[in-house]
Amino acid sequence: MNEIVTPALVLDLELLKQNIKLMADFGRKNHVGIRPHFKTHKCLEIASLQMKAGAVGITAQTIDEAEALVKGGIKSVLLANQLIEQAKIKRFLNLCDIASEVLLCVDSENNLRLLDKLAGAAGVKLKVLVEVDIGLNRAGRKPGEDAVHFVKKVLACPNIEFKGLQGYEGHAVLLSDPEERKKTAAAAMELLVGTKRLLSGINIKCGIVSGGGTGTYDLTGRNSDITDIQPGSYVFMDTKYLAIKKEFIPSLCVHATILASRGKGEYTADAGRKALTTENGMPLLLDKTGSIENLNEEHTRLKLAQGSLMPGDRIKILPSHCCTTVNLYDNVYVSGGEQVREIWKINRQRAV
């Protein structure tokens, strides 16, 4: 492991597989599809492991991610977001010929008209989910009649196929009080499922009703009207999710090298804000009693409560937000025990 040049992202393969299995088993036991979110790892090898474990498809957030997945051979890809720019829509339509199923979200009439026109020009029948705003206030139609009215417009488009509903309860996933999380997620899902029921009442079938994240997979995933869930972070975990979800094991960390001892238990290491993100708080020292006090661009300043370190020693750091930290790296070192087994690519750049 010492041959790795730090700062480096290191993944424990066995722990990753345990997390993937736990989620896959949950899906099988509760008869809900797992459509893991690619935004967490952006890594085709991990997406393939998730598919092999039984995932119904992979969720993407950007056109770049969708392209990487389809070109990487993933057979069902849901872009759980809207594409507004023509150039991106055309790139998405090109994917419809390659993958067996690609799905896009839509929530506005102007966008719907443009999608229909461009799909017609490309000779493609574009499959869409109508996104419903179930409380996150980020995207989506209003639940109930507004969404139903919009679905009817979708059904009237000759080049668009209505496949179902998308609703993400992002305002619930990180609530620390389990009861509050449960209540908030249930209320959000009732808005999504209530819309589905209104559609069923007028004989409009939703093949897919998708939502959920790592913080709510076991709540939303037990709702019998939800067909699939989209958890991302569970594969790696981080300080933010570990505080509320103990069943998944942290499988990813950043390795750094001690540059200097500053006395009184204080040290400087070589991973700064360009190697670790902090929007969810300071990352955590692993295997050491101490804390990260500050991050500069290329430096960690840490303090040990016990023990000592020497310049050249390696430390392991648990990210506070795995998804945004991974996005800072081109590769992840995949470890088995103390050995590096493989190096996997992170598709953070535009796939061309």
Ligand X SMILES: Cc1ncc(COP(=O)(O)O)c(C=O)c1O
Name the residues that contact ligand X, by CB under 6 A: 37, 40, 59, 80, 168, 170, 173, 213-215, 230-233, 323
Residues 6+ apart with CB under 8 A from 148: 195, 198, 199, 202, 204
Give the tokens for residue 255. Answer: 């390795």
What is the nearest approach in angstroms of ligand X to the Cβ of residue 140? 10
- Whose Cβ is closer to ligand X: residue 128's or residue 309's? 128
- Whose Cβ is closer to ligand X: residue 63's or residue 157's? 63
What is the nearest approach in angstroms of ligand X to the Cβ of residue 74? 16
- Whose Cβ is closer to ligand X: residue 173's or residue 326's? 173
Alpha helix positions (H), the chain: 13-30, 44-52, 63-71, 86-95, 109-122, 145-155, 178-201, 217-220, 239-242, 322-326
**Residue type at 100 in one-letter notation:** S
What is the nearest approach in angstroms of ligand X to the Cβ of residue 34? 11
Q: Hunting for tokens 């393939």 — which residue is that?
A: 48
- Whose Cβ is closer to ligand X: residue 233's or residue 335's? 233
CA distance 292 to 282: 7
Query: In Å, how far are 51, 108, 261, 278, 290 from 314, measured between CA atoms?
Result: 34, 51, 13, 21, 15
Distance between alpha carbon 341 and the CA centroid of its chain, in Å?
Answer: 25
Residue nearest ligand X, CB atom distance: 213
CA distance 314 to 338: 13
What is the nearest approach in angstroms of ligand X to the Cβ of residue 59? 6
What is the nearest approach in angstroms of ligand X to the Cβ of residue 241? 7
Tell me which residue of 164, 238, 171, 217 sits closest to 34, measured CA to CA.
Answer: 217
Distance between alpha carbon 55 and the CA centroid of its chain, in Å?
Answer: 14
- Whose Cβ is closer to ligand X: residue 150's or residue 217's? 217
- Whose Cβ is closer to ligand X: residue 80's or residue 206's? 80
What is the nearest approach in angstroms of ligand X to the Cβ of residue 143? 16
